Amino acid sequence: MADKLGEILTTTLKAIELGKEEIFFIAETSRSETQRLTNELSQLKSDIIEIIRQVDFQVRTDRLMRQKLMEVSRAHQKHTEKDMIEAYANAKDAQVKLQLLQAQEVQLRKRRDDIEHALRQMNATIERAENLMTQICMAISLLQGGLEDSLQTQNHEQRLEMGLRVIKAQEEERRRVAREIHDGPAQTLANIVLRLEIAEKLLDLDPSKVKAELQDLKKLVRSNLQDIRRIIFNLRPMALDDLGIVPAISKYLENFQENYGIKCELRIEGREKRLLSAMEVALFRLIQEGMTNVAKHANSAKVDICLIFQDEWTIARIRDFGKGFEVNSAMIAPEEHFGLVGMRERVEMFSGRFSIQSTIGEGTTIELSIPSRLKGGTTT
């Protein structure tokens, strides 16, 4: 019986993996088509601007030609038959050209609207594919059963709930990194390939311009390298392992201040100490998520961050001075506040405490507390 169950499990996993590959292919195809449509849309918008300019010019020309024809018709005694025929022909040509340009403008606008609609559908497809990938990865992880060893002391319901939370956190992190790489280094690398092809053609057409192109490429590569280093730091800051939570957060806040132009002040209370590795990572991620919310939503010029080290608890307090929001409304509609919900869930995974205080027009304070040691364990 056990062998039969194992065989069924293996077959199921293979089928899910195959589905995962198909979904990945759909997502990648959609991304490629989205990029193509985006490029076409950009060109279309330029073409529409140009055709509008031509239509405006032709409207004035048409008006001028019709006025000229009316003048010739009124004073036909002063003009020859040739003048009248020429005036009529010019007015007719101007009218036909105007109608053609107006028809072309209508076609371009319709194509633009069609592409914008297609892009919305493509983005929805990509989002659905990413959600399915997350769910499939969670299903695979659960089927493979990677949590039993670390969660043996808990009952089945607790293990399942904790396992789902851990897997969800892992998949969300992977999704965040994948999106960051796709929107940053991946796009830049595609641009670098295109620029290299241009430089290759310039070698034959105008070698004198190749040097300037290579200098621009050098700047682009350096910028891309900085993006990759930033992603690596956000994924697992090396200072966190080597020096501890405070230096890691200090470095992160320096980068945050430089990237967003929001002044950050870090204050430490209590005697700084090392925590368990998992707790230091959790605390770093929580502060990172809180700061991301400030950058996206708070519209604040300054943020105060306070780390409080106590014997039993480690507390982080993030205070901004932005627009604030209705806390009760945020809790009623959590789908609009995924960042805050995710922070609360992370804190609850460590049996911690989480609170939000916000006043419209005055700012928001987020406070989270996690135990300085696990039950039955000690700090490092």
What letter represents residue 243's amino acid? L
Position 1 pLDDT exceeds 70 = no
Phi and psi at residue 82, in whole multiples of 5°? Answer: -65, -40
> Residues 96-142: pLDDT tens digits?
999 999 999 999 989 989 988 888 888 888 777 777 776 676 666 65
Share of the chain above pLDDT 90, in %: 19
Mean pLDDT of 210-218: 83
> Residues 62-98: pLDDT tens digits?
999 888 888 888 877 777 888 888 888 888 898 899 9
What is the Cα–Cα distance from 379 to 371, expressed in whole angstroms? 10
Residue whose pair of structure tokens reads 């419209």 in the numeric block: 360
Position 234 pLDDT exceeds 80 = no
- Domain covering 239-371, topology: Heat Shock Protein 90 (3.30.565)
Query: Quick one: CATH architecture of 2-144?
Result: Orthogonal Bundle (1.10)
State the pLDDT at residue 380: 45
For residues 23 and 132, the answer to whether their CB atoms sit within 8 Å is yes
Using the 8-state DSSP alphabet, how is residue 336 labeled?
G
Angle of helix 81-144 relative to helix 156-181, nearest 10 degrees, comes to 150
More confident residue, 111 or 199: 111
State the pLDDT at residue 253: 92
Q: Where in the chain is the domain with CATH 3.30.565.10?
A: 239-371
State the pLDDT at residue 72: 81
Q: Are strands 302-309 and 263-269 parallel, antiparallel or unpaired?
A: parallel
Position 144 pLDDT exceeds 70 = no
Q: Where in the chain is the domain with CATH 1.10.287.2610?
A: 2-144
What is the Cα–Cα distance from 129 to 136, expressed in whole angstroms? 10
Mean pLDDT of 182-207: 78
Mean pLDDT of 150-179: 58
> Residues 319-348: pLDDT tens digits?
999 999 888 766 545 444 556 777 887 788
Mean pLDDT of 27-50: 85
Position 303 pLDDT exceeds 90 = yes
Mean pLDDT of 217-241: 72
State the pLDDT at residue 190: 78
For residues 252 and 305, the answer to whether their CB atoms sit within 8 Å is no
Mean of all residue pLDDT scores within the chain: 79
State the pLDDT at residue 223: 78
Position 379 pLDDT exceeds 50 = no
Beta-bridged to residue 359, according to DSSP, are: 363
More confident residue, 103 or 209: 103
